[in-house]
Structure 1
Amino acid sequence: MTDTASVWGRDDVSSGKGASDENFPVGSLLLSKALRPHVHAYYDYARVIDDIADCETLSADEKIARLDAMEDVLLGKRDPIPRADAMSAAKLRASFLKTGVPFETATDLLIAFRDDSRGTPCTSWDDLLHYCRYSANPVGRFLLHLHGEVPHTFAAADALCTSLQILNHLQDCQGDLQRLHRCYMPTDLMAQAGATQDDLLAGRATPNLRRVFNTLLDGVDALNREASALPGLVRDRRFRMECAAIVSLAHRLTQRLRREDPLAGRVALKRTDIMYAAGAALRAWS
């Protein structure tokens, strides 16, 4: 058996990201006060495993060993040691046992982060959707289960989460390649457009790379249309408002990425976008 200390290694893998760095609200005031601690437990766990996969000082094998250890703690196969990353898995385990939310909503995330750790390439739109199935869609399903929503909400939620993940990839395409040597732009789309990964390192998008961005945004538009049905399917009023706001923000960010260049500077939501989202939330109250 692997020595516990050697598996966990250093406690210095944090990326420094937090809820304030996200495009979309994490455990916002729209959610029930009683459920917010469970949402934060899930977010803390997700942040830790994301940081492990993104750590620039761990080898691929070290990352996967650490992710495996997190899964063992989550599933009760390993006792946690008293440090933040292990305890986040233990805290989420306690949340799942209390709420009945399926453990798969957390273990599925590990599939994507193991792929990131290995440097698994994204060769096609289908590869990108597969990655989002595990890196993003479990988040929506966690929230749906937590609110007691029914399975017919899953497809629209999956579309929304996949949309948000691809939008994030577009926002961060340059940084992902520079810092993590990771590219989520499908290689077949890049080749068809005559673009290369070197184009992502420029100060502005070339026409060829812009074609790749627009093709991905066409796919996001289709996902956003499917996601637009989600608020009408959700029964919990407060969560319905949250969903309506996030759907609105996804549409607004998609429009911004159509008009703005993510290589020239981070394309971010503005105050006007937040106002539109607030209006969408209010309309979903009834």
Structure 2
Amino acid sequence: MGQRAGAVVDEMSRLRVAERAENFPVALRILPARRRAVLRAVYDVVRTVDDVGDEGEADPAQRLAALDALDEDLDRVFAGGAPHARVIGALAPHVGLLPVAPFHDLVAANRVDQTVTRYATRDELIGYCRLSAVPIGRLVLAAFEIDPTDAMLAASDDVCIALQLLEHLQDVGEDRGRGRIYLPADAREAAGVAETDLDAPTASPALRRLVLAESAAARDQLRTGSALVGRLHGAARLAVAGYAAGGFAAADAVDRTGGDVLGRTARTRRRDVVRHLARLGLGSTRRTGGPRP
């Protein structure tokens, strides 16, 4: 019993450490406690699914089996049953609020990671992001009981896809070490960047130009998606502004490297997140006449 309790504590501690390392504030302290609880429960599942798909020494077959187990647990908890994984069980108080489909999409994205390590075109990469990133926005809107219009969903998708693309840019070297490349092949070829260029200790001039161009494109997509902030009010607006602010701060971090994401760490600065959060939050206050309770 003591060992099991210790394992739960260790897992929670690991998840909180991971949360603090994220580019965006997972659950702003000023949000209502109920909303923070839902967002943390969602984050913990998302982080766990990603870790099963990425971390440790398991081979692809073992990872796929573990992902299948998580998928089955999701069905159990949303059907009112008792899942095996504690982190899935923590969703139980929120199953009336959250949809299950986005969680299944996230598991599917990690299944893709076991077999797909390259993307030929940007469209293919965006297709992957629709499994790996878009579900997060859908879950956040559900957590705040938002009934979104199609335009709001499109904006949410833009924010989430941009966040994913920027994370890939920050992690070019790390992903390469895992045998994965998220810079589309057609863009690399057009820029004159070979796969072997990603093994160098510093980025070539061609790779730097490509990274900065991709960062600019992601920033534009993030800017478009940030229109969602002005359509929300109160706690929901603050939360979404926080995610978007994290994306802008990540773009700043990539740009500070001059595109050399191999030789320099594109580390997001908290002060940049706060700066962009203030800009987004105050901007939408002016547009919408202030937050509503």
* Pairwise same-fold verdict (TM > 0.5): yes
Q: Which residue of 1 aligns with 2:45?
A: 45
Q: Which residue of 2 aligns with 1:165?
A: 164
The aligned amino acid for 1:80 is P
Q: Flag the 1:245–1:281 CA change in 2: closer, same or farther, 3 A.
A: farther
Q: How many angstroms apart in 1 are the aligned matches of 2:54 and 2:237?
A: 32
Gapped runs of 5+ residues in structure 2?
1-9
Q: Flag the 1:126–1:281 CA change in 2: closer, same or farther, 3 A.
A: closer
Q: How many angstroms apart in 2 are the aligned matches of 1:221 and 1:18?
A: 24
Alignment counterpart, residue 205 of structure 1, candidates 203, 206, 214? 203
Q: Flag the 1:91–1:271 CA change in 2: closer, same or farther, 3 A.
A: closer
Q: How many angstroms apart in 2 are the aligned matches of 1:213 and 1:186?
A: 11
Q: Percent identity?
A: 31
Alignment counterpart, residue 239 of structure 2, candidates 229, 238, 242? 242
Contact 2:252 2:268 in 1 (8 A): no
Q: Which residue of 2 aligns with 1:18?
A: 18
Q: Which residue of 1 aligns with 2:137?
A: 140
Q: How many angstroms apart in 1 are the aligned matches of 2:58 and 2:182?
A: 21
Q: Flag the 1:244–1:265 CA change in 2: closer, same or farther, 3 A.
A: same
Q: How much does 1:72 deviate? A: 0.5
Alignment counterpart, residue 212 of structure 2, candidates 211, 214, 218? 214
Q: How many angstroms apart in 1 are the aligned matches of 2:110 and 2:67?
A: 8
Contact 1:108 1:134 in 2 (8 A): yes
Q: Which residue of 2 aligns with 1:183?
A: 181
Q: Flag the 1:201–1:95 CA change in 2: closer, same or farther, 3 A.
A: farther
Contact 2:202 2:263 in 1 (8 A): yes
The aligned amino acid for 1:194 is G
Specify the SS of the correspondent of 1:35. Answer: helix
Specify the SS of the correspondent of 1:195. Answer: coil
The aligned amino acid for 1:129 is I
- For the pair 1:69 / 2:69, whether they are aligned, the reply is yes
Q: Which residue of 1 aligns with 2:4?
A: none
Alignment counterpart, residue 253 of structure 1, candidates 250, 253, 256? 250
Contact 1:15 1:55 in 2 (8 A): no
Q: How many angstroms apart in 2 are the aligned matches of 1:96 and 1:182?
A: 35
Number of residue equivalences: 267
Q: How much does 1:274 deviate? A: 3.2
Gapped runs of 5+ residues in structure 1?
1-10
Specify the SS of the correspondent of 1:228. Answer: helix
Specify the SS of the correspondent of 2:58. Answer: coil
- For the pair 1:128 / 2:131, whether they are aligned, the reply is no
Q: How many angstroms apart in 2 are the aligned matches of 1:75 and 1:98?
A: 13
Q: Flag the 1:108–1:30 CA change in 2: closer, same or farther, 3 A.
A: farther
Q: Flag the 1:80–1:256 CA change in 2: closer, same or farther, 3 A.
A: closer
Q: Which residue of 1 aligns with 2:273?
A: 274
The aligned amino acid for 1:62 is Q
Paired residues for 1:213-232 under 5 Å: 213-232=211-230
The aligned amino acid for 1:29 is R
TM-score under structure 2 normalisation?
0.83
Q: Which residue of 2 aligns with 1:264?
A: 263
Specify the SS of the correspondent of 1:131. Answer: helix
Contact 1:30 1:239 in 2 (8 A): no
Q: How many angstroms apart in 2 are the aligned matches of 1:19 and 1:268?
A: 15
Provide Cα deviations, 1:137-178, integer angstroms capped at 9, x if missing partner: 111110101112122221111101111111110001101111
RMSD: 2.4
Q: How much does 1:67 deviate? A: 0.5
Q: How many angstroms apart in 2 are the aligned matches of 1:131 and 1:156?
A: 18
Q: Which residue of 2 aligns with 1:80?
A: 83
Q: How much does 1:281 deviate? A: 5.4
Specify the SS of the correspondent of 2:146. Answer: coil
Specify the SS of the correspondent of 2:57. Answer: coil
Contact 2:256 2:266 in 1 (8 A): no
Specify the SS of the correspondent of 1:73. Answer: helix
Q: How many angstroms apart in 2 are the aligned matches of 1:217 and 1:196?
A: 19
